[in-house]
Amino acid sequence: MAKKIEGTERVHSLVTFGAAKPGLEALTNPATGNCFDGYRFVNQDTLTVDPVPALLGTFAHPKMISIKMNKVSQYWEYDCDDNRQSNVRLPKVGLHDASLYASRVAGSNLSQETIGVAVNGLAISYKSDVKEVTSILESSGWNLIGTSNDGDDCAHLIQNEKSECILTFQGTNDKKDWWTNLAFVAVPFCNLNTNIHNGFRSEVMRVVQQDGYVKTIKPKLSSCSKITVTGHSLGGAMASIFSACANNEAAASDDENFTAIKWW
């Protein structure tokens, strides 16, 4: 087990689906100096693969266990230090679909906790209508306790009876988000170990400064006994950046971006 060298893990687990690469180098978990707990999922069949995780070739995925999963929910797990960036397979855009990720994880023999992130957190991450989100979560054991939606991007916070929480970030869903994806200049952020994709960084900060986030999500995070952050595509990159900054209190306590993200 890695020795905890700095601060407290405010974000306990990071789970991403078809995520884009957020950092010029691999982000580490600042609270441990090592890998993030959780999984990075990539849909991969015999000859084809989700192309999005391999884009932005000069960038890197965070240090975390990666899972390649096929159409019958079989999967191959790779250690966080074996964070493979390429696949000898043909890109297939259809494999990037968020609902496909959810259904494949749901059909696997992974832990119920991990499956729950996919069938609940991922399932609501693109939904902006509160009634629709509530309907999806009905009978799941999860309750919506905070939501933010400015018309372009939404974020949700859900909680179970153990006070465990899932915070979701929405992925690419409009032309503006594609411009965000293309803003790939790497810039310093939150005093992290590597420079961050400027477009993804900007999107994280825009969401956490939304009125709905500040009023209904941020105040509720302190009630969570455990926080898992998740997202698909752009949302996965945002989840990674948010998690790294939140766990970097020792090095970033005076940073204005950290102050905006901090909830304790």
Provide the residue range defining the domain that includes 234.
Answer: 13-261
Q: Which pLDDT score is estimated for 150?
A: 87
Res. 6 pLDDT band, cuts 50 70 90: low
Asked if residue 22 belongs to a domain, the reply is yes
Q: Which pLDDT score is estimated for 83?
A: 59
Asked if residue 6 belongs to a domain, the reply is no
Asked if residue 5 belongs to a domain, the reply is no
Please count the structural domains in the chain.
1
Asked if residue 28 belongs to a domain, the reply is yes
Q: What is the pLDDT of residues 84-95, one digit of tens each?
A: 555 679 999 999
pTM, whole model, 2 decimals?
0.94
Contact of 239 with 229, CB cutoff 8 Å: yes
Asked if residue 1 belongs to a domain, the reply is no
Asked if residue 187 belongs to a domain, the reply is yes
Asked if residue 7 belongs to a domain, the reply is no
pLDDT at 157 over 70: yes
Q: Which residue has the tokens 């304790």?
A: 264
Instruction: Give the residue-averaged pLDDT of 120-143.
Output: 96
pLDDT at 79 over 80: yes
Q: How would you classify the pairing of strands 154-159 and 196-197?
A: unpaired
Instruction: Give the residue-averaged pLDDT of 239-244.
Output: 98
Instruction: Name which of 161-165, 179-183, 205-209, 221-225 the model is least confident about.
Output: 179-183
Q: Which pLDDT score is estimated for 87?
A: 61
Q: What is the pLDDT of residues 13-48, one digit of tens each?
A: 999 999 999 999 999 999 999 999 999 999 999 999
d(CA 105, CA 137): 17
Asked if residue 213 belongs to a domain, the reply is yes
